[in-house]
Amino acid sequence: MKIVKVYGPGCKRCETTEAMVKNAAAKLGIEVGVEKITDARSIAMAGVMSTPGISVDGRLVHAGGLPDATRLEGWLSA
């Protein structure tokens, strides 16, 4: 199972990102555990400056704005 973390203080874009991750995982048939990190300190500690940020299995793959759906699938299946 892949652990995906979505970093963001809980604005609308962060929620959309979380939904996008779940959709992409369902579409690809990949099992993921999605964790939302909303606490400013943890977001900063992860090195994320622009939210929402996404990490897959501890590797930061995206920061700032909604991810591109195609690229998101790439990260999940990598």
Partner 1 sequence: MTIGIDVAPHGRGTLDWVWLAGVPVAAVVWWIVYGQLIPLSEWVTSLVPVARDSHTGEAIAFFVYDVPKVLLLLTGIVFVTGVLRSWFSPEKTRAILAGRREIWGYPLAALLGVLTPFCSCSSVPLFIGFVSAGIPLGVTFSFLIAGPMVGPVGLGLLYGLVGWEVATLYLVFGFTIATIAGWILGRMNLERFLQDWVRELNAGPTAELPEERLTLADRVRVGLEQVREIVGKVWIWVLVGIGIGAAIHGYVPETVMLRIMGGDAWWSVPAAVVVGIPMYTNAAGVIPIVEALLGKGAALGTTLAFMMSVIALSLPEMIILKQVLKLRLIAIFVAVVSAGILATGFLFNAIL
Instruction: Give the β-pairing of 32-37 and 59-63.
Output: unpaired
Write out the two tokens for 76.
């999940």
CA–CA distance, 68 with 47 (Å, rounded to integer): 21
Which residues, numbered 22-51, are part of the site for partner 1 (CB under 8 A)? Answer: 40-41, 43-51
Which stretch in 6-14, 18-26, 27-35 sits in contact with partner 1 by CB under 8 A? 6-14
Q: How do the residues of the chain divide into helix, strand and coil, expressed in percent and rounded to 5? A: 40, 25, 30
Q: How far apart are CB 43 and partner 1 at their closest, in Å?
A: 5
How many residues interact with partner 1 (rule CB under 8 A)? 30
Residue ranges in contact with partner 1 by CB under 8 A: 7-9, 11, 13, 40-41, 43-51, 60-66, 68-71, 74-75, 78
